[in-house]
Amino acid sequence: MSKQQIRQILQEHGKFPAGVDALADDADLYAAGMTSHASVNVMLALEDAFELEFPDRMLKRSVFESINAIHAAIAELTA
Amino acid sequence: MAGALRCGRRWGDSLRVGTDLVQIAEVAAAVARWGDAYLRRVFAADELAACRRAADWDIASLAARFAAKEAVMKLLRPDAASALAWTDIVVQRERSGAPAIRLSGLALPLARRAGLGPVAVSLSHDGDYACATAIANCRSLTTYPENEKGKK
C-alpha cells in the first residue's frame, strides 16, 4: 500500500478542482475541494482497492482529511 | 476592586440550521459504479425501500436524502475526531408524507451534547440538483454579565 496508490484514488474519485499532484501529503483534502459526496466515493474506492472496510468508528473527518491520515488508517486496518 | 464583573449562567435557546445541495448525477454515478456497496453504506433499509422503483432507483429522492443527512450533520457539528455514519441519520416519511429525521448510533450522543431538540427537515429536487434544509432548537448553558451589585 503506497501513498501513490492513495493519490491515484483521490485523483479519480475526489473531484478536486486542481487535481492532486500539487497536494502535499498533509494537505487538508476538504479544504482542497473534496465534497461530502466525493468523500463517499473515495472511501468506497479505498475499500475496493485495498480489500477492507472502514468500520463505523473510523467514519470521521480526521481519517479522510489528508493523504497521510488515509495512509495511517489503512495501515491500521491491514496490520 | 470596584466594578468587578460577575457572570451568571442560565439555559438559553438558539436555533441551528443546516443546508446542503447535491448534484443528482453524482448520486447516479455512485449507484452505477458501486451499487449495493454505496447504497447500504449511505442509506438505511427504510430509505432504500422508499426510493425503490420497479427496476431501478429514484435517484433524485436518494440525492435529496443524502442532502438531508449532510444538512443534519451541520446541525450536529461533529469535530474532526467524532465518528458519524451516514446511516445514523435516517430520513423517514410520516403518515402525512412529510419527512422526519431519526437519529441513532453515533448521532445520538452528538445531538445530546449539542442540546438539540427535535430536528425538522425539508427536502426538494429539481433538474440537476437535490437539496435539503434542517433546523433544530439548541438548548445550552450561556453566561450573562451581572452588574457590580449582582443584579441581572
DSSP 3-state of A50: helix
- Quick one: pLDDT at residue B55? 86
Q: For residue A31, what is the DSSP state?
A: T
Residue B5 pLDDT: 72
Taking residues B84-111, report their average pLDDT: 95
Could you say which of A37, A43, A60 has the minimum Cβ distance to residue B83?
Answer: A60
Q: How confident is the model at residue B10 (pLDDT cuts 50, 70, 90)?
A: confident
- Tally A–B CB contacts below 8 A: 52
Contact yes or no for B81 and A62 at CB 8 A: yes
In this complex, do B84 and A41 lie within 8 Å of one another by their Cβ atoms? no
B36 vs chain A: nearest CA distance in angstroms? 11
Q: What is the 3-state secondary structure (H, E, C) of chain B?
A: CCCCCEEEEEEEEEEEEEEEEEEHHHHHHHHHHHCHHHHHHHCCHHHHHHHECCCCECHHHHHHHHHHHHHHHHHHCCCCCCCCCHHHEEEEECCCCCEEEEECCCHHHHHHHHCEEEEEEEEEEECCEEEEEEEEEEEEEEEEEECCCCCC
Return the pLDDT at B150: 47
Q: For A47, name the nearest residue in chain B, comparing CA atoms only.
A: B37
Predicted confidence at residue A28, as pLDDT, reads: 96
pLDDT over 60 (residue B151): no
Tell me what the mean pLDDT of segment B105-111 comes to: 93
Pick from A9, A39, A40 the residue to mutate for testing the B interface (most B CBs within 10 Å): A40
pLDDT score at B141? 72
Q: Which of B26, B40, B131 to mutate to test the interface with A (most CBs of A within 10 A)?
A: B26
Give yes or no for residue B148 having a pLDDT over 60: no
Q: List chain A residues with CB under 8 Å of B80.
A: 60-62, 65
Burial (CB < 10 A; 0-12, 13-18, 19+), residue A11, is middle
pLDDT, average across residues B22-46:
97
User: Using one digit for the tens of pLDDT, what is the confidence trace for B116-137?
Assistant: 999 999 999 999 999 999 999 9
Per-residue pLDDT band at B1 (split at 50, 70, 90) = low
Instruction: Classify burial at A64, counting beta carbons within 10 Å of its beta carbon; exposed 0-12, middle 13-18, buried 19 or more.
Output: buried
Residue in this structure with the C-alpha cell 439548541, named with its chain if needed: B138
Confidence label for A60 from pLDDT (cuts 50, 70 and 90): very high
Is residue B147 very low, low, confident or very high in pLDDT (cuts 50, 70, 90)? Answer: low
Q: What is the pLDDT of residues B38-94, one digit of tens each?
A: 999 999 999 999 999 988 999 999 999 999 999 999 999 999 889 999 999 999 999
CB contacts of B66 in chain A (<8 Å) are 37
